[in-house]
Amino acid sequence: MSDADYKNDVDAPCAKKLKISQQNENGVSDNQLELKDFLPEKILNNNTNRKTVCIKGTFKGKSGVALILFEKNAFKEEDLNDKGYFSADTELQTFFQNDIYGNYECFPRPTLNGVKTTVIYPATEKHIAKFTLQEVHIVLETPELYEKLTLPHIEKEQFNLQWVYNILEGKSEQDRIVHDNKCEKEGFVLVPDLKWDGLTKETLYLLAIVRQRGIKSLRDLDASHLPLLKRVRDEGKKSILDKYNVPGSQLRIYLHYQPSFYHLHIHFTYLRHEAPGIYAEKSHLLDTVIDNIEMMGDYYKKATLPFTIREMDNIFNVYETNGYVQRIKPNIESSVIIK
pLDDT (tens place) for every residue of the chain, 339 residues total:
333 333 333 222 222 233 454 454 444 445 578 999 999 999 999 988 778 999 999 999 999 999 999 988 878 888 999 999 999 999 999 988 889 989 999 999 988 888 989 999 999 988 888 888 889 999 999 999 999 999 999 888 777 899 999 999 999 899 999 999 999 999 999 999 988 888 888 899 999 999 999 999 999 999 999 999 999 999 999 999 999 999 999 999 999 999 989 999 999 999 999 888 999 999 999 999 999 999 999 999 999 999 999 898 889 999 999 999 999 876 555 556 776
- Cut 0.75: pTM above it: no
Q: Which domains does the chain have, with CATH numbers?
A: 1-73+116-133 (3.30.200), 79-113 (no CATH), 135-321 (3.30.428.10)
How far apart are the C-alpha atoms of 186 and 211, rounded to whole Å? 7
Residues marked as catalytic: 265
Q: Which residues contact 281 (CB under 8 A, 6 or more apart)?
A: 138, 306, 307, 308
Alpha carbon separation from 212 to 104, 239, 240 (Å, rounded): 54, 20, 22
Which alpha helices (DSSP H) does the chain contain, by range?
125-131, 143-145, 151-157, 162-168, 226-244, 286-295, 299-302, 314-321
Q: Rounded to whole angstroms, how far apart are CA atoms 70 and 120?
A: 12
Task: Count other Cβ atoms within 10 Å, centred on residue 41.
Answer: 16
Query: Residue 138: in which H helix or E strand, if any?
Result: strand 136-141
